[in-house]
Each structure stands twice: as structure tokens, then as C-alpha cells.
């Protein structure tokens, strides 16, 4: 049996896992990255686009990730329009009015992932490729892992960055509350005859929530959070009929539109962990939280996990010899919980409110959008909250 060890093991080689690896290397902490050995060679392009907040973008720039992303693949958002089916009902957030350069920038999943792959190729770490861990055992001062080939590993800390169905979370017996939204995200791209000019849109409708993110001069990435009671109706529509319905839903402000990609479907749910830590275990990214996409903050929340971890490493160097100590983990849990819980419950309540079909709710929503739109102070506070 081969025995190997590092100070920290990161499980999950996705974007957030690579971000964590990057900061640990920055602090000269010996790290291993565990990833699946079976990776499809013919990986299809990922249709998802992310709205990266200015605060996260700044961190990515400072840590060299943006050096590997071409400017042509990044689309700045300088305005967001929120509206409903009611005429003359809208709420507009404008970067210029808030005194900032942009509200967010849009990046494709594959472009961001490739940038991280290039970034970590410049650093030193131990890569573990396996499809099965046979044993996960927590000792007093370390965790022992044994893989399917009998290789034994020892770590002071295990970071779970292995997604919403986290294996690390289950091994650490961290309880998680799972709530289904009874909605499915319908994801696709469209081309509009009118240039978007850096404006994103979100429309609240009786069938769900329609979000459009500008990606190229005339193109949008669309996420339609569709109520499940009508999902089968939408699935049954061919592209031609679906496009006609979409044009009716969007209205005339986009001009003529065409589908650019096939439609992808992703069931929506919310997961809130009882804790972000356990004995010598810490959770980040989707392993730590999963929320409704209406605010477009899921990946930003994961990056803020990593940023907080980075800041704790800077301010608490005395724990670098053993990051699995409870005192250090409790600081992370205490610092991250408020941000995660507030955003999770906010998106949960908003999704429930906007999916309720009621004249009274429609009246309140439309009244509220107009009132907020008239109050520049409230709008500025909301923008400052969103651009972190």
C-alpha cells in the first residue's frame, strides 16, 4: 500500500475547487487535488453563462485568472431592467447612476473553466485521479483516505468542493435541508435583431421568471425558471412553436429573435447545510449551498467562500501548520453563514412570491417595482449589495 500525504486535500476539480487550490498555493500550503479519472474526451460545450460581480472580478484579476480570458469573450452589463406583464411597470438599475463602471460581466462556463485550468498549470500541487474512495476516516490530528487501488493518503484538512451532491458532505455527516422549487431552469441562447447595448433583462410572468444575459452584440443567454406544472407543455413544443411563444412573452423590445442553441433543462432546488464544517472538513461552493438562480449569484457565492478562506489565511497565519484545527474552521463557518443564509432565504421568498398567481400579489409586485424605481437611495443600496 502506497502512503502519501499533503496538508490539504481538495475534492472536486471544478472552478471553485481550482480557485481554492490557487489560494492555498499562494500561501505555500502543500495541497492535493482529487478529480475523477474518467473524464469524457468528447465533452459538449456548456451552455451556461455566469454574471460575475465586480467584487469577484477584481479578485480574479488580482489572482491572475483574467490573464487567460480574452476581452472579446467578456460582456459587461451596465444596465438591468426588471419588468412584468403589466404595462409601464419596470425597475432599472444603471451602473452610471450608481457611479460604477459595470454592474456585472458575463462569462461562459467553458471560458472561465479553461482560464482556471491554465492558471493552475503554473503552480505545483499533487493530483489524485480516482473514481472511488474506499475509506474516509477522521483521526485526532488528520484524515485518512484509501482509494480503490489501495493507495493511502493523509491530510490535515479536506475541502469539499465536489458539488451539490457532495460525497465529502455525506462522509462528514453534515445535515442538509433540501427544498424543491417545483421549477425547472430552461437554458438556451437567442439572437436579437436589436443590439443589447450591455443591458440584461428579467421578466416576472405567471409561468415563471425569464432572465436574459447579454453575451455578444446581438445575443442573449436565456434562463427561464419555468413552473413544473406547465413544463411538459413547453417540452412538447418544437423549435418553431416555442420561438413564437417566446417572442410573445418577450414583447417587441427585442425585435425579431432566433434560437441559437438547443434547449437544456435543469431542475431547481435549494440546499442549506446545517454547518459548513465538520471535524477537519470544510465545504465550499455548491457543496456548501445551492440557491435559486433568479439573482444570478450562485457562482459568486462560491467565489466569496474562497475569498473569505483566502482572507482568513492572510489574517491567521498561526493556523497554517494545521488548517484542520476547530478554531480556524469555526471562524470560516461564522463568517460565511450570514451571507449564505441571507441570500438563500431572499431568493427562496422571491421565487415563491413571483410564482404565486394572485391579483393581490401582482398588484403588490408591480406597485413595488415602480416605487423602488423612483427611489434612488434604495436602488443604490440594492446595487451595492449585489456588486460585492
Reported as a single tens digit per residue, the pLDDT across 95-130 is 877 778 899 999 999 999 999 999 999 899 999 888
Residue 167 pLDDT more than 90? yes
Please state the pTM of the whole predicted model. 0.88
Q: What is the mean pLDDT of residues 10-32?
A: 96
pLDDT in tens, 241-276: 999 999 988 888 888 999 999 999 998 888 889 999
DSSP secondary structure of 316-372? -GGGTT-TT-HHHHHHHHHHHHHHHHHHHHHHHHHHHHHT---HHHHHHHHHHHHHH
Q: Which of 58, 28, 63, 66 is nearest to 313 (CA)?
A: 28
Give how far Cα 248 sits from Cα of 85, 114, 208, Å: 11, 37, 15
Q: Which of 130, 114, 54, 56 is nearest to 285 (CA)?
A: 56
pLDDT in tens, 306-361: 999 999 999 999 999 999 999 999 999 999 999 888 887 777 666 655 555 544 34
From 17-21, 46-50, 235-239, the region with the lowest mean pLDDT: 46-50
CA dist 128 and 147 (Å) reads: 10
Angle, CA 46 vertex, CA 40 and CA 47 arms, to 5°: 155
How would CATH label the architecture of 51-108+179-268+356-386? 2-Layer Sandwich (3.30)
Name the residue with higher pLDDT: 137 or 365.
Answer: 137
- 172, 159 Cβ separation under 8 angstroms: no
Domain residue spans in the chain?
A: 3-49+112-177+270-350, 51-108+179-268+356-386
Fold exhibited by the domain 3-49+112-177+270-350: FAD/NAD(P)-binding domain (3.50.50)
Rg (CA), the chain: 22
CA atoms within 13 A on the CB side of 314: 8
Residue 1: band (very low, low, confident or very high) from pLDDT cuts 50, 70, 90? very low
Q: What is the mean pLDDT of residues 281-303?
A: 88
Amino acid at each position: 500500500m502506497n502512503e502519501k500525504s499533503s496538508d490539504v486535500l481538495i475534492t472536486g476539480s471544478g472552478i471553485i475547487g481550482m480557485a481554492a487550490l490557487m489560494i492555498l498555493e499562494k500561501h505555500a500550503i502543500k495541497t492535493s487535488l482529487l478529480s475523477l479519472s474518467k473524464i469524457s474526451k468528447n465533452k459538449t460545450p456548456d451552455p451556461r453563462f455566469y454574471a460575475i460581480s465586480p467584487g469577484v472580478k477584481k479578485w480574479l484579476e488580482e489572482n491572475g485568472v483574467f490573464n487567460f480570458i480574452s476581452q472579446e469573450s467578456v460582456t459587461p452589463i451596465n444596465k438591468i431592467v426588471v419588468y412584468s406583464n403589466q404595462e409601464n411597470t419596470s425597475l432599472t438599475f444603471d451602473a452610471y447612476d450608481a457611479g460604477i463602471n459595470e454592474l456585472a460581466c458575463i462569462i461562459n462556463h467553458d471560458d472561465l473553466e479553461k482560464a482556471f485550468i491554465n492558471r493552475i498549470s503554473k503552480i505545483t500541487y499533487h493530483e489524485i485521479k480516482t473514481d472511488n474512495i474506499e475509506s474516509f476516516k477522521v483521526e485526532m490530528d488528520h484524515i485518512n483516505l484509501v482509494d480503490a487501488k489501495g493507495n493511502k493518503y493523509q491530510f490535515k484538512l479536506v475541502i469539499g468542493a465536489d458539488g451539490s451532491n457532495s460525497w465529502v458532505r455525506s462522509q462528514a455527516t453534515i445535515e442538509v435541508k433540501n427544498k424543491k422549487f417545483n421549477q425547472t431552469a430552461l437554458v438556451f441562447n437567442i439572437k436579437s435583431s436589436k443590439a443589447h447595448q450591455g443591458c440584461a433583462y428579467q421578466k416576472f410572468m405567471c409561468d415563471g421568471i425569464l432572465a436574459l444575459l447579454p453575451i455578444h452584440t446581438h445575443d442573449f443567454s436565456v434562463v427561464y425558471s419555468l413552473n413544473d406544472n406547465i413544463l411538459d407543455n413547453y417540452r412538447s413544443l418544437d423549435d418553431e412553436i416555442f420561438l413564437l411563444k417566446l417572442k410573445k412573452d418577450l414583447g417587441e423590445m427585442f425585435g425579431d429573435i432566433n434560437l441559437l442553441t438547443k434547449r437544456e433543462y435543469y431542475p431547481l432546488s435549494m440546499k442549506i447545510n446545517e454547518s459548513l464544517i465538520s471535524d477537519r472538513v470544510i465545504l465550499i461552493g455548491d457543496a456548501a449551498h445551492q440557491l435559486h438562480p433568479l439573482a444570478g449569484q450562485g457562482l459568486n457565492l462560491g467565489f466569496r467562500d474562497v475569498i473569505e478562506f483566502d482572507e482568513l489565511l492572510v489574517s491567521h497565519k498561526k493556523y497554517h501548520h494545521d488548517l484542520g484545527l476547530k478554531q480556524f474552521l469555526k471562524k470560516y463557518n461564522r463568517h460565511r453563514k450570514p451571507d449564505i443564509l441571507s441570500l438563500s432565504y431572499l431568493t427562496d421568498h422571491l421565487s415563491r412570491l413571483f410564482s404565486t398567481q394572485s391579483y393581490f400579489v401582482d398588484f403588490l409586485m408591480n406597485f413595488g417595482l415602480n416605487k423602488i424605481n423612483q427611489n434612488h437611495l434604495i436602488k443604490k443600496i440594492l446595487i451595492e449589495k449585489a456588486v460585492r
